[in-house]
Structure 1
Amino acid sequence: MLDINLIREKPDMVKENLARRKDPEKLALVDGLFKKDAEWRDSKYKLQLLQQERNKITREIAAMKKEGKDIKDKVKEMQELPDKVKVEEERVATLKAEIDVLLKRIPNLMHESVPYGKDDSENQEIRKEGAPRAPDFQLKNHVQLIEDLGAGDFERATKIAGHGFYFLKGDLAFLNQSLLRFTIDFMAARGYLFTEPPLMMERKPYEGVTDLSDFENVMYKIEGEDRYMIATSEHPLVAQYMDETIDETELPIKLVGYSMCFRKEVGSRGIDTKGLFRTHQFNKVEQIILCRPEDSWRLHEEILANSEDLFKALELPYRIVNICTGDLGIVAAKKYDLEVWMPRQNGYKEACSASNCTDYQARRLNIKCGKEGGDKRVLHTLNNTAIATSRVLVAILENYQNQDGTVTIPKVLRPYMGGKTVILHMKKP
C-alpha cells in the first residue's frame, strides 16, 4: 500500500498518477481517504485534548489536597472524563481501521515509463526475439496433438474434477517435469535459492501480498477456515518475511520457488473447456527478489533477462511488451510480459510477467530493511514467472510439432529426458 504521509504531502501528484489508470472507482478511494484522514486527525486531536485535560485535573487535585481544599467538584469533573476518552478512543480506532481498508485498495503509483493505454490491446511492444515458425503443413492444436499421441487425457480429468483439469502421461509428463528441473537448475546457477513454499496461506498475510477484494474471486478458500490455496508461489515466498526487519547486508534476497498453483480463473477470459493454457491447477516456477529501494529498477531488468535467457535456451520465439496503464494490476509499479510465439494460433501469448512492486507489498506486510543501529525503511519486492509449464508445454507442442504428429524435444531438455529426442505416439491405457 502507499505511504499515507506521501498522500498527505503530495495529494495532487498521487491523484495525477492514479488518474492515468482511468479507473474512477480507484480514484474515488483517494478522495474517501482524504475525508477519513481529516476526521481521524480531528478525532485524534480531541483525544489528545481530553488526555491533557485529565492530566491537568489530576495535578490540580493533588495540589488542592496538599492545600486542604475541597476537591469534590474536581473529582466529579474527573469522573466524567473516562467515558469521553473511551468514546474518542473508539472513534480514533474505527477511523484508523477504515483508513487502512482504503489504503489497501488504492493501487501502487506507476513508474513514468508505463505507457498509457485503455487495455491489453495497447500494451507497448519493446522487442522480439527469434523467428516465428511458419510450418509448411497444417499444425494440430495442442489438445488434438496430445490426444493423438496418447500423452494426456482431458475427458477423464473432466469426469472426476470438472473442466480446467487434465492428466499428463508418459513422455509429456516427463517433459513437464523436465521443464521444472531445467528452470530450477538454471535459476539456482544464477544465485537464486530454491524454495518450496506451503500451498495454503491464512488471510492476514494474503492481504499483505495482494488486494483480496479484487483477487479473492479467483482463489480457492478452504471451507470453514480462514485459509486459501495459493494462486502463485510469489505470495508465500514474499509473505514469509511479514513483520521482519532484514539487515541490508543480507539484501538482495533472491529466491526461485516451485509450487502447484490454484485459480478459479473466473471472468471474461474464463477457463479453457479443454486444454492446458488456462486451467484451475498448474505448475509454476517463480522468481522473487527482496532488495533495497535503490536497487529495484536494476533488478527488474535482471529478472526479465532471466526469463528471456530461459526462452532463448528453449529456442522459443518471444516478444517483450511493456504493460500499459489500463492493463496494469494494482500491486505493480511497472510490469513487462514475455509473450511466446504460438504458430497454431498465429500470435504471441503471455508466458511470464515481470513486476516491480516497489514498496507496495512490503508496506502492507511490514517488511523493512536497515543497518544495525541505523534507520529502518520499507524495502522493495519484485517477482517474475520463471516458467509456467502448462503454457510452455503448449508452446513446445506447437513450435516443435512434426508433420508425422510427433514432437521434437528441445535440446536443453534432453538430458532431463534420458537423452530422448522425440515424443512418439504411445498406446492409450
Structure 2
Amino acid sequence: MLDLKNLQNNFDEVAKKLKNKKVDENLLKQLAEIFIELKKEKTALEELQAFQNKFSKELVNAQDKEDLKVKLSENKNKINEQNQKVNILEDKLENIAHSIPNIPDNIVPIGEDEDENVEIKKVLTPPNFDFEPKEHHDLGENLDWLDFVRGVKISESRFCVLKNEGALLSRALVNYMIDFNRSRGFNFVNVPYLVNSATMFGTGQLPKFKDDMYKVEDEDLYLISTSEIPVTNLYSGEILASENLPIKMTCYSACFRKEAGSAGRDTRGIIRQHQFEKVELVSITKPEQSDSVFNEMVECASDLLSSLGLAHRHLMLCTGDLGFSAAKTIDLEVWIPSQNKYREISSVSNCRDFQARRAKIRYKNDQGKNELVHTLNGSSLAVGRTLVAIMENYQDRDGKIIIPDVLRKYF
C-alpha cells in the first residue's frame, strides 16, 4: 500500500507518477479532495482537544466551576463527534488507497503498454534450423507428451495433461530449478496453495484482482496465483532482526489464474493455462539491500536460462506495463522458434515497501526503530513455458526432442 503521508505531502509529484501507471485521474482527484477535507476536520479536532486540555487544567481554580463543567462536557461530546468524522474520512482514504498501485521508480521508462518496454540486452543466440520448426503443441501431441483432449474432458479449456517423457521433463525442470536456486543462496520452502484473504491482501491481489482469483465457496480461502503470495506473507505481522536480512527463498508451486481478458491469446498449447507450475524467488531485505538483491535475482533467472542453452533477452518494463505492486520490473523473454519471437518466461520485481506496509512486515534498524522491509519476487522459472522453450529449441527434423545436458541426471 502507498505511504499515505508521502502521498499527502508530495501529492502532485506522486500523482504524476501514478498517472503514468494508468491510475484514473478522477480517483486521484477524489483522493486530493479527501486529503483537504481530512486536514480541515483534523484541525477542528485539534482545536477542540486544545480547549479541553486548557480548561480541564483551569477547572480546579475556576470561579464558576459548574458553568465550566457544562462547557467541558459539551466540548467532550463535540470531540467524540469530530473523532467520528475524522475516522470515517481516514477509512475512506485507506479503502481507496487499497486499490492504488505502487509508485514506479524514477528509472522506469514512461510508456503506455508492452510495446514501449525497453530492451536491456540479449543473451545467447537463437538456433538456426534447416527445416520449419514445429509448434510445441504439435510436437507434444505427436510424441504423446501433451493430452489436450483429456485435459478439457476432466476440467475445461486451458487445461492439459502431461504424459510420458513430457511429464518427466517437467518434473526434471522443477528439481533442477530448485537445486540451481539453492546453489545461489535461496533457501527452499514449501507452502500451502490455499491462503486466506489477509494473505491475498498483503501482496496486493485483493481487493483489486478479486475477480481473477479462484475462491473456495463459503470459506475464507483462495487458490494462489503465484507462490509469491504465501512465501512473502510467511513474515506478515512480524518484526525481523536486522542481522537476519536479507531472507532469500525459492519455492515450487502450482498456480491458478482465471486469466480474465486473455480470450483470443495463446488459445492453443500450454503457454497460457488456468493451472500452471512455477518456481519462484522471493526476498525480504533492508531498503539499502533491495537493489543489489534485485540484480542477484535477475541474474539467477537469466543464468538458469543460459544453463539450459535457451536464448533470451532482458526487458525493463515501462510504467504502463508495470504490475500493481511493483516499483520496477525486469522481464526475461525466451526465444520461441515457431513464433519467431521472444516470449515472457520470468518477471522479477522490486516492490519496495509497498507489500510490507500492507502485510506489516518490519525489522528493527540500527537505531532500534521499527522500519518497513523491502520485498522482491521473481519467476525462476515458469515451468510450462520452459518446457515449451526446450521442446521448440531442442527439436530435430523428425520431431524428437533432445534433452539438455544439465537435465539428464534427473531422468
Give your verdict on TM over 0.5: yes
The letter of the residue matching 1:278 is R
Question: Does residue 279 of structure 2 align to residue 281 of structure 1?
Answer: no
| Aligned position for 1:122 | 116
Q: CA deviation at 1:81?
A: 4.2
* Matched-pair contact (CA < 8 Å) for 2:332–2:344: yes
304-313 vs 138-147, which moves further: 138-147
Question: In terms of Rg, which structure is larger?
Answer: 1
State the TM-score, normalizing by the size of structure 2. Answer: 0.93
Q: 3-state DSSP class of the match of 2:338?
A: coil
Residues 200-231 of structure 1, C-alpha deviation per residue, up to 9 Å, x if partnerless? Answer: 22222312211534322221112222321111
Question: Does residue 93 of structure 2 align to residue 95 of structure 1?
Answer: no
* Matched-pair contact (CA < 8 Å) for 2:252–2:278: yes
* Matched-pair contact (CA < 8 Å) for 1:265–1:271: no
| Aligned position for 2:384 | 390
Q: 3-state DSSP class of the match of 2:339?
A: coil
80-89 vs 177-186, which moves further: 80-89
Distance 1:270 1:60 in 2: 75
| Aligned position for 1:242 | 236
Question: Does residue 299 of structure 2 align to residue 290 of structure 1?
Answer: no
Residues 43-82 of structure 1, C-alpha deviation per residue, up to 9 Å, x if partnerless? Answer: 2333333344445555555546xx7x672x4444444345
| Aligned position for 2:8 | 8
| Aligned position for 1:427 | none
Question: Does residue 189 of structure 2 align to residue 171 of structure 1?
Answer: no
| Aligned position for 1:42 | 40
* Matched-pair contact (CA < 8 Å) for 2:249–2:283: yes
Q: CA deviation at 1:15?
A: 2.6
Distance 2:54 2:9 in 1: 34
Distance 1:116 1:79 in 2: 56
Q: Which 5+ residue runs of structure 1 have no aligned equivalent?
A: 418-429
| Aligned position for 2:130 | 136
Distance 1:392 1:285 in 2: 11
Distance 1:229 1:360 in 2: 22
Q: Which 5+ residue runs of structure 2 have no aligned equivalent?
A: none
State the TM-score, normalizing by the size of structure 1. Answer: 0.90
| Aligned position for 2:393 | 399
Q: 3-state DSSP class of the match of 1:276?
A: coil
| Aligned position for 2:247 | 253
400-409 vs 51-60, which moves further: 51-60
Q: 3-state DSSP class of the match of 2:195?
A: strand
Task: Give % identity.
Answer: 39
Distance 2:26 2:189 in 1: 40
* Matched-pair contact (CA < 8 Å) for 1:118–1:326: yes
* Matched-pair contact (CA < 8 Å) for 2:286–2:373: yes
Residues 116 and 55 from structure 1, CA distance in 2 versus in 1: closer, same or farther, beyond 3 angstroms? closer
| Aligned position for 1:422 | none
* Matched-pair contact (CA < 8 Å) for 2:133–2:338: yes
The letter of the residue matching 2:214 is Y
| Aligned position for 1:20 | 20
Tell me the number of residue pairs that the alignment of Structure 1 and Structure 2 aligns: 411
Residues 93 and 270 from structure 1, CA distance in 2 versus in 1: closer, same or farther, beyond 3 angstroms? farther
Q: How does 1:327-346 map to 2 (within 5 A)?
A: 327-346=321-340
246-255 vs 73-82, which moves further: 73-82
* Matched-pair contact (CA < 8 Å) for 1:163–1:272: no
* Matched-pair contact (CA < 8 Å) for 1:30–1:106: no
The letter of the residue matching 1:8 is Q
| Alignment counterpart, residue 187 of structure 2, candidates 182, 187, 193 | 193
Q: 3-state DSSP class of the match of 1:128?
A: strand
Distance 1:374 1:34 in 2: 34
* Matched-pair contact (CA < 8 Å) for 1:206–1:212: yes
Residues 211 and 388 from structure 1, CA distance in 2 versus in 1: closer, same or farther, beyond 3 angstroms? closer
Question: Does residue 224 of structure 2 align to residue 226 of structure 1?
Answer: no
The letter of the residue matching 1:362 is A
Q: CA deviation at 1:100?
A: 1.1
* Matched-pair contact (CA < 8 Å) for 1:249–1:371: no
265-274 vs 40-49, which moves further: 265-274
Distance 2:65 2:333 in 1: 83
Q: 3-state DSSP class of the match of 1:408?
A: coil
Residues 258 and 212 from structure 1, CA distance in 2 versus in 1: closer, same or farther, beyond 3 angstroms? same
| Aligned position for 2:209 | 215
Question: Does residue 309 of structure 2 align to residue 315 of structure 1?
Answer: yes
* Pairwise CA RMSD: 2.1
Q: 3-state DSSP class of the match of 2:376?
A: strand
Distance 2:162 2:272 in 1: 15
Residues 196 and 160 from structure 1, CA distance in 2 versus in 1: closer, same or farther, beyond 3 angstroms? same
* Matched-pair contact (CA < 8 Å) for 1:287–1:303: yes
Question: Does residue 351 of structure 2 align to residue 357 of structure 1?
Answer: yes
* Matched-pair contact (CA < 8 Å) for 1:271–1:280: no
